[in-house]
A and B are shown apart, each in its own frame.
Chain A
Amino acid sequence: MAALQDGPMELDTEKEVKPEILSDGTSNLSGNTGNGALSSSPLTAAPAGGAPKQEDQQTLIAVLQFLKRNKLSESVEILRREAGLAEDQVDSLAADGSGGGKEDGGDANSLLSRVSIPAAAAPQSTLTPVPVKRSEDHPDVRVVLSAYNQQGDPSLYQVYYSDLKNFIESVLDCHRAELSQLFYPLFVHMYLELVYNNNEAKAKAFFEKFSGDQECYYLDDLRVLCGLSKKEHMKGNEALLDFRTSRFVLRISRDSYQLLKRHLQERHNNQIWNIIQEHLYIDIFDGMPRSKGQIDSMSGSLGGEAKREVNKAKVFYGLLKEPEIEVPLDDEDDEAENEEGKPKKKKTKKDSIGSKSKKQDPNAPQQNRIPLPELKDSDKLDKIMYMKESTKRIRLSPENLPSICFYTFLNAYQGLTAVDFTDDSSLLAGGFADSTVRVWTVTPKKLRKVKSAADLNLIDKESDDVLERIMDEKTASESKILHGHSGPVYGVSFSPDRNYLLSSSEDSTVRLWSLQTFTCLVGYKGHNYPVWDTQFSPFGYYFVSGGHDRVARLWATDHYQPLRIFAGHLADVTCTRFHPNSNYVATGSTDRTVRLWDVLNGNCVRIFTGHKGPIHSLAFSPNGKFLASGSTDGRVLLWDLGHGLMIGELKGHTDTIYALKFSRDGEILASGSMDSTVRLWDSTKAFDDVETDDFTAATGHIHLPDNSQELLLGTYHTKSTPVTHLHFTRRNLLLAAGAYNSQ
């Protein structure tokens, strides 16, 4: 459904996208990786999920309406055909939709408004003025805002609110915590209603009186809110539009809900009841009311908690088996061993490893669920290297902590914005605020680029070492600079085969660089706003990017349009990570949620709430079962993907966590922060300690043990270097990187 919603967006963006594939780079791109590409049209993939339900139909109609209004008749036609709707059906449904129940209308409109926002400011990179039609006369926004019709005497709002407050404070303790959740959304909606109806002074008084009661983790939002005092301000403010259009989700036990309902009916407090009905989604569950601690651990996001049913979808979190290596392994292995002149002693050992991975993990997705690129010979060689290295891997445990090698960027003048290591830890890339990307080699082997075309003509193409000969030794150096972006580079990611490098930048492009020629191959345009993060799939070929336009996009290197658009976040997508099996993508956002998306159909399969600040780092555990996320509030949260549960909270950092990484075996979680420390956590213990019985799994109400201090294995201070990136080598040596901050 998500992909479906974004149909029009993509159509919009398509117009601006210009293929930037350079002539010398095409051969690299369209190698054998292209064989198993996903279908490049999101529209064909998405509806295949099943017959659209009623709600989906409403959405469809909304999209169709939008398209029609923007005179995109062709698209309308295509979409209608795809969805299998007759023309008259559309019209009648449309009439239904707009004239029908208020909720439905709200839904459709909300969708429209969200879709139209990115479209409205689309062509900023070309510096042409925004189409006047849209920004001036914004029909969608007006429709959305009209939900805030005057519903009562504005002077009584304070009375209503304090009445409810008194009631909630007087109820039994067990219900109080749950009902207190109502304060914040009610407060915001009542304030906005006052503002919308031009009761500025009353709104201000209302804000001043009750803003102090709100939970401290909403402070950032309150700050935004307090600046907003005019109806006109509401137009352009996306965050608030979202608050309005997406219903704030609360989880309340049935008992507490009944209590509230009875009270409001007794008092005839229609005002509040209306808001609850219209703008809040109350997820009622049977059972014990939750405690304050339980609620606090899950709340904090921009849109309230996740509904329980959104986390019910099955997630295939298991790892893919690696059948490709089986057969060639022996051959390659023989070769490799013969080269080294070693006896074939190791072979049996390798076989056992191979056989272990042959077994299909019951939780793993089907091997071809997502078409993956075929392995090239060099990939197989690399896999063998990987296996060899992993036999030498140090077993980490709380008694046996990893060594940390810190790479400090000197003279970076606060300009280092992103770092990545290759998987084999041989290369290091840094993105800088001055728009450059720099690649360093951290091994004695220098960086060489392919000779120029003229020089290439001179070499003997028949010789055996032609691959050596094409490299230019003269310009070999320890670092190379890649110029091309026109804004700070916020994300860099190496491809698994070390041939490519991705970088995402403020200039709203993602660029693909060749590490053979050290030139730019493609500029992927699609995000219309800064792209905060990008990452290659663990199998290469695909990559994901996320940016200020609040969507994450899935790309394939040989397509200049995104294959999937993951829309749903209410604010910037700040970080994106691929699941180790490449079937899922996790995104962290400024709306303080983490979402997990299915690459196959673009669906959002998990929404994790609980962070109290924008999320800036994500890490999957190597077995694919768990996810760790770190945010500006200095806390790391651990999530169980299979059950969709929060299973741990690691407190200790005092500033934004920019780097998270599990050790190769998953025993240790390393976190790096702006507070210039690297901390090591006992992740095995953190995962074991949680008892996930059926009840907690069903309700999602877990009680987190406060054991951060026990789980913390080590704190390592740098002198004055915020930690930007962490990476475990294949032998479990921890590499950290950051720029020295001289202040």
Chain B
Amino acid sequence: MAEERRQKLCSVILPTESMKAMAESVGVGSLQEDSCLALSEEVSYRIKEIAQDALKFMHHGKRRKLMTGDIDHALKLKNVEPLYGFQSQEFIPFRFASGGGRELHFYEEKEVDLSDIINTPLPRVPLDVSLKAHWLSIDGVQPAIPENPPPAPKEQQKAESTEPLKAVKPGQEEEGSIQSKGQGATSAEVKGKEKMRMKPRSTHELSVEQQLYYKEITEACVGSCEAKRAEALQSIATDPGLYQMLPRFSTFISEGVRVNVVQNNLALLIYLMRMVKALMDNPTLYLEKYLHELIPAVVTCIVSKQLCLRPDVDNHWALRDFAARLMAQSCKTFSTTTNNIQSRITKTFTKALLDDRTQWTTRYGCIAGLAELGHDVIKTLIIPRLSVEGARIKAVMDGPVVSNIDKIGADHVQSLLLKHCASVVAKTRPLPDLVDQYKADFGYLGTMLCSHVIKARAQASFQAQTVNRTTLTITQPRPTLSMSQSGLSASGGSRTPSIIKVPSSLTLMSTRPGTPTQPSPPATKYIVMATSAGAASTQQVITLSSSQSGSPVTSTVPSTPTSLQPLVKLESGNTGAVGGSRPLQKYIVVSLPSSSSSLESKGSSVLPSSTSPISMESAVKLERSESPAASTQSPH
């Protein structure tokens, strides 16, 4: 058994050359071979002995790494003077060099100028030891707080979603059973589960804290306060404990997009896409299971014919760009040979692009979506289309003025094509950039493309390829979006309140006098019910019911949307009381987890004990959850 491993046991001794070298270093010139051998055996044995003793100190020091101090202590045990000057916290200060077939480890001793040391400012004093308490478990359930590791590691989430039929591995099985155990499964159930080798049933019950968190986050994400939104998105992007809430978020986004596309509510679409982005950025989440909800939502934001009320003014292009980047990112992360996301998406875009009747907006989205997928896609799918697209643009630009919207669309498509293609062409096309040649190859766009390519080449040679368009940087999308918002709201001029504008209740109040009075829009209620008492997956029932007027939401009058501000609320029970009075669209997410109430009571039973950080936390959360709701509700 394990012969190879055992081989290592054979005693290794230092080479006699080392002995000679060491002898020379202390001034012993010629050492006989026999003495060298005897010495090296003795030294090897002693070194091993010391190393074995040092291991004891490592174990008692409760570390996994042997440190120089351990060796010192082991030497002390043997009544040997420790080696001074080798105090290294982290790394072993040996340098490695090899040459002439010999390998050498040496200790680099540099000459140090004393005045340098004296003159350098003192390093910062290391922080003092401090003590921090957190709940590792509450009544057997590990709370999802930043101090604890994410409840389900990303690898496990990935394994679950990509290989659902595979028998659960021992470690995961443990995880799974513990997790389900935490939610009140009895030990008998766990036992049965283990015996049957079944995949642990995943339940989606949220604790009270999680419900509050969800409410808080969703409100902030689609609410009016930009600072809060940034905070909420930051939380989504970094919080390790969101695994349990992922299905809710995913449904929230997909339903949000569905509704807001119909209503052409650009601002909300942007917010929702930013949520998607944040979810994707979260290193502890694996979204694969929820792509069926997220991808349609994202694609909608890329290719939808109309995303805003006034396509001629609003910058829905930025949203398309942003969503396209998201799409590319998810393709890169989640595309596998089984789900074929990338090829399916590519096909979808291409099909729309090839269709002559496709509107400019959709066309723009398709091109953006394809372009974000990388240089290869641009090269094979977009560049060959350049002449055709060029002709189409030309027709709009030079032809009779059909509509301003088309013109703007064509303009955007043109700049988009130039932007993306230039860099690719610059890379693939041999050097002489002749305008005529380009014209011949690419038709109408040739001239402009040529100048862009020249520019791109100049840039590329100037800064050696610092910008990589295929990778998505975090800094890019966000500024673009916020800029477009602010810019548009400024350009909106007298026609404010623009839909792009952050629909903060305060601005609404101030601008309302300017707008013509109009009948308040139908108060539509969306009740997103999540009944999750032990159900295999969440059942989210969306009921669209217009309670005040009969007009369905889909037929929104273009003049009304200013006041269409969805409020996302999570209410436990008293929905009627709050919802009835307000002439507002409301998303009421009612979740009725049966066991959460018992959990709550259990949680409270812990509180009386001497230390109770959780009570404070939940109290804080409660407090915080009060304020935003109040601020958004007050004006109405």
Contacts and interface: CB of A to CB of B under 8 A. Distances in A.
A731 interface: yes
Interface in A346-395: 394
B428 interface: no
A652 B89 CA distance: 31
Given A124-B76, A224-B52, A226-B11, A416 B62 contact: yes
Contacts of A16: none
Contacts of A438: 129
B606 interface: yes
A411 B128 contact: yes
A716 B136 contact: yes
Given A432-B129, A442-B611, A719-B147, A736 B178 contact: no
Contact of B187 (A216, A399, A574, A717): A399
B136 A404 contact: yes
A658 interface: yes
Interface stretch (B53-61, B362-370, B380-388, B550-558): B53-61
Nearest to B135: A405
Nearest to B173: A709
- Interface-central residue, A204, A227, A417, A710, by most chain B CB under 10 Å: A227
Contact of B129 (A236, A411, A652): A411
Nearest to B6: A212
Interface string A502-515: 00001000000000
Contacts of A733: 606, 609-610
A377 to B, nearest CB: 24
Contacts of A413: 89, 126
B41 interface: yes
Interface string B118-142: 0000000011111111111111101
A612 to B, nearest CB: 15
A236 B45 CA distance: 11
Interface string A189-215: 000000000000000100110011000
A690 interface: no
Nearest to A719: B149
B117 interface: no
A404 B135 contact: yes
Given A574-B60, A716-B136, A204 B11 contact: yes
B413 to A, nearest CB: 49
A635 B181 CA distance: 23
A410 B129 contact: yes
A36 to B, nearest CB: 33
B70 to A, nearest CB: 9
B56 A572 contact: yes
Contacts of A403: 135, 137-140, 606, 609
Contacts of A548: 56, 77
Contact of A724 (B62, B67, B127, B187): B62
B6 A211 contact: yes
B288 interface: no
B64 A233 contact: no
A712 B174 CA distance: 9
A110 to B, nearest CB: 22
B3 A714 contact: no
A417 B62 contact: yes
A428 interface: yes
Contact of A433 (B45, B69, B132, B609): B69
Interface string A643-677: 00000000010011010000000000000001000
A39 to B, nearest CB: 33
A709 B126 contact: no
Determine which residue in B6, B41, B131 has the highest number of CB atoms from chain A within 10 A of its CB, and name it: B131
A541 interface: no
Contacts of A717: 142, 148-149
A228 interface: yes
Given A212-B3, A674-B64, A710 B191 contact: yes
A659 to B, nearest CB: 10
B42 interface: yes
B194 interface: yes
Nearest to B240: A719
A233 B44 CA distance: 11
Contact of A401 (B126, B132, B133, B137): B137
B77 A405 contact: no
Nearest to A398: B187
A624 to B, nearest CB: 27
B136 A406 contact: yes
Interface in A432-452: 432-433, 438, 440, 442-443
Interface in B585-622: 605-606, 609-611, 613
B452 interface: no
B1 interface: yes
A222 interface: yes
B73 A487 contact: yes
A404 B45 contact: no
Nearest to A733: B609
B609 A407 contact: no
Contacts of A212: 1-3, 6
Nearest to A685: B187
A632 B133 contact: no
A405 B613 CA distance: 9
A390 to B, nearest CB: 14
B147 A716 contact: no
Given A406-B136, A407-B131, A411-B128, A124 B79 contact: yes
A529 interface: yes
A710 B133 CA distance: 30
A718 B132 CA distance: 13
B357 interface: no
B140 to A, nearest CB: 3
B536 interface: no
B48 interface: yes
B75 to A, nearest CB: 11
Given A121-B79, A411-B126, A709 B194 contact: yes
A592 B35 CA distance: 39
Nearest to A128: B79
A423 to B, nearest CB: 13
A545 interface: no
B82 to A, nearest CB: 11
Contact of A233 (B45, B52, B191): B45
Contacts of A614: 56, 59
Nearest to B76: A124
A410 B135 CA distance: 16
B114 interface: no
Given A121-B79, A207-B10, A410 B132 contact: yes
A569 to B, nearest CB: 14
Nearest to B11: A226
B10 A656 contact: no
Nearest to A411: B127
A590 interface: yes
Given A411-B130, A674-B64, A709-B194, A222 B9 contact: yes
Contacts of A530: 57, 60, 73, 77
B636 interface: no
B186 interface: yes
Given A400-B139, A712-B174, A716-B142, A532 B60 contact: yes
A442 B133 contact: yes
B41 A229 contact: yes
B436 interface: no
B63 interface: yes
Contacts of B131: 407-410, 428, 440, 442, 479
A680 B63 CA distance: 23
Closest 6 CB pairs of A and B: A401-B140, A404-B136, A227-B48, A404-B137, A406-B136, A411-B127
Given A204-B10, A739-B62, 4 more contacts: A212-B6, A487-B73, A488-B69, A719-B149
19 contacts: A208-B10, A211-B6, A222-B9, A227-B48, A403-B139, A406-B134, A408-B133, A414-B61, A416-B129, A443-B610, A443-B611, A530-B60, A590-B56, A716-B137, A716-B142, A717-B148, A717-B149, A719-B149, A722-B62
